A and B are shown apart, each in its own frame.
Chain A
């Protein structure tokens, strides 16, 4: 195939063939089975739709097309295994290479694709010439534009970029004649209407222009001279040579926080130089051969998003996530009252992290995962995490998110949201020093450790707080006064047991606050019952 540069084929066979599983019986009972299977078949109009791949299959076809033809040396860093993979250990650092036993993926292609499917925001980071812009360009082609249009609509950040360069210009005639600001028409920049928006080197944009970009990126509209331009839903791709603020201008925090995933462009493997040579000699640009069949229409995009949202996140996994997340925000000595014991309180007050760390003498700072970060997780990052986990499950043709999906997606979503505390004792250990530079590895380690603790505490089988909350979630209707008092007593008992038997940690802190919330709900309800 690689010898024939013009043979850019789409996979005709299923990209991820499914095994018949136990859910098969359940899957058969759907509308398609009822109305299409029968003596009268699926006529004319139905035949046409049948030939089109469903969006998830099309997404996989796009992935494999890019892997096979557009990107020269893909890395398989998102590993899935059906059984224990074979490891190979190298060198004094005992670096391990594993051969995955299930279909595995290259984050550099998969994450941007999932961003396209969910219409969210992806940041490519990496040194110059690693294919960041080229990958973003390929995503633009998926939306149905040709490569010229995508290139023209790509915004290149530079230190002199003004708000007008970003958004558009008022029409000079209107500027002269208008009696009211509302009469000034704006010639909006064409990139605003694109379904795939690409901003190259966004960390070179001046701070003021970044703020204008924030309203487009965050709220999907542009504003100028009191005129509003509503942008269509879009997938965003931003590139930066440096994620640590080393661009021409530091990136404003709010803009950073709106980025859902961060993908690192990995280095070129010199073993693939022959292919690069062929491209140079034969003047081949794969973007010129992007198959039309891989274009996604607006309707397909909407369908895909609805299907992704419908992917289930099992309760047991949600509990694991809750447990993981609850470990980071807590900071015992940041606040006097229980509610304000968060890293955000000390951050807002400007109290240095190491000052508080000195006070935490009772905590095992090596085992406590919360000690490794300087912040907790925002609601926005949790939403991104859920959406991307669902999208990954969807991409793999599953109807529910698995633990492996979350494990794989966490590092890319939390990359720019969870900040390391380089003074944490863990990073002083030689075995873990690499985590200071390998953030993806560190985030995977965090989630793995959190899961171990979750399993050790047996929370998968018995979680009193979750049980009480599930009981409350069923509603207070029909709950008698006696039952209400019994539940209040149970909450108080649980709080007593939590306070006596454990050191205060992020997880205990979240549980205690949840119990307080439930106590309030029940006691308010009880007062209402008694007042009737």
Chain B
């Protein structure tokens, strides 16, 4: 796909759908559209596999959504595209757009809506703010299938339809090669934050039913690794109750959180986060 394709197939039809706008707003959008084309090209959005996605945005969503927001149109487009740029795959972008179409927000509420949708789409680091938004906006919560915002305090709550997630989440991988961590990760709990250390690097871990995020932290201080406790009995118990543990797994640490167990291993470069189900694993 070429910049010409963008202009004729996406920008022109978009501008045409806003003929009723005041001239200055049309001109503003046209001008912004030119800059946008260059950015789309520069960041690889004009590749053929993106065609369907761009058509969905420019020909279906934007004409409906922006019709009543002529002045803010450039800013709103940019907010939507910046948010989509956070998601690496086309499928994840399409998932977000699908939900976005369900609740086309007003100009004022666009940021908050995109934040909630991003969280539901896997950006766990936005969880706290997103819950605040949902609590303040019951209509949005209901549209997205969260009739009980109270239940959201459990990080494994997936909404009215899917209810609680019970399957564990893995971060990292079994082996060093190709994994997330370049050394065996170990857990630190400080100021109600879960910190993951691996070698000289540190992250804050965000995890819930919708995704995981390791947020890099500065590594100015050297943090001492805790001594290993004998967790062999615990490991046996875990294996008995949980099929996600593999034979040979030797648990290094177990951190019990209000709704989860977080495990690090002596033998694997991964972390396992197991949702609590009642009082047992």
Contacts and interface: CB of A to CB of B under 8 A. Distances in A.
Interface of A: 22, 25-26, 29-32, 34-46
Nearest to B117: A34
11 contacts: A29-B125, A31-B111, A34-B118, A35-B114, A38-B85, A39-B42, A40-B77, A41-B78, A43-B74, A43-B77, A44-B32
B111 A34 contact: yes
Contacts of A38: 78, 81-83, 85-86
Contacts of A35: 78-80, 82-83, 110-111, 114-115
Given A29-B126, A37-B82, A43-B78, 4 more contacts: A34-B126, A35-B110, A40-B77, A43-B35
Shortest beta-carbon contacts, A-B, top 7: A38-B82, A35-B79, A31-B111, A45-B75, A40-B81, A40-B78, A43-B74
A45 B74 contact: yes
Nearest to A35: B79
Contacts of B39: 39-41
A42 B118 contact: no
A351 B204 CA distance: 62
Residue in A34, A36, A41 whose Cβ sees the most chain B Cβ within 10 Å:
A34
B42 A34 contact: no
A45 B71 contact: yes
B129 interface: yes
Interface in B17-64: 28, 32, 35-36, 39, 42-43
Contacts of A32: 111
Contact of A40 (B85, B126, B204): B85
A140 to B, nearest CB: 30
Nearest to B82: A38
A32 B82 CA distance: 11
Nearest to A38: B82
Contacts of A42: 75, 78
Contacts of B123: 34
A39 B111 contact: no
Nearest to A48: B75
A109 B247 CA distance: 70
B137 to A, nearest CB: 13
A39 B39 CA distance: 7
Contact of B36 (A25, A30, A40, A46): A40
Contacts of B78: 35-36, 38, 40-43, 46
A39 B32 contact: no
Nearest to A39: B43
Interface in B72-95: 72, 74-75, 77-83, 85-86
A41 B74 CA distance: 11
A31 B112 contact: yes
A243 B29 CA distance: 60
Nearest to B29: A44
Contacts of A22: 191
Nearest to A45: B75
B23 to A, nearest CB: 16
A39 B86 CA distance: 10
B215 interface: yes
B152 to A, nearest CB: 16
B237 interface: no
Contacts of B82: 34-41
A31 B129 contact: yes
A34 B32 contact: no
Contacts of B232: none
A390 to B, nearest CB: 18
Nearest to B127: A29
Contact of B204 (A25, A34, A43, A44): A25
A38 B83 CA distance: 8
Contacts of B35: 43
A44 B28 CA distance: 8
Contact of B114 (A25, A29, A34, A46): A34
B85 A34 contact: no
A29 B119 CA distance: 11
Interface in B100-129: 110-112, 114-115, 118, 123, 125-126, 128-129
A515 B79 CA distance: 52
A18 to B, nearest CB: 16
Contacts of B118: 34
B230 to A, nearest CB: 32
B255 interface: no
A37 B118 CA distance: 14
Nearest to A20: B218
B267 to A, nearest CB: 30
Contacts of B215: 25
B219 to A, nearest CB: 13
Nearest to A36: B82
Nearest to A44: B74
A38 B72 CA distance: 18
A36 B85 contact: no
B140 to A, nearest CB: 14
Contacts of B75: 42-46
B86 A34 contact: yes
B51 to A, nearest CB: 19
Contacts of B72: 45
Contacts of A25: 204, 215, 217
A140 B79 CA distance: 37
A33 B223 CA distance: 29
Contact of B129 (A29, A39, A45): A29
A36 B80 CA distance: 9
Contacts of B129: 29-31
Residue in A29, A38, A46 whose Cβ sees the most chain B Cβ within 10 Å:
A29
A150 to B, nearest CB: 32
A36 B79 CA distance: 6
Nearest to B203: A25
A41 B32 CA distance: 12
Contacts of B43: 39
B243 to A, nearest CB: 31
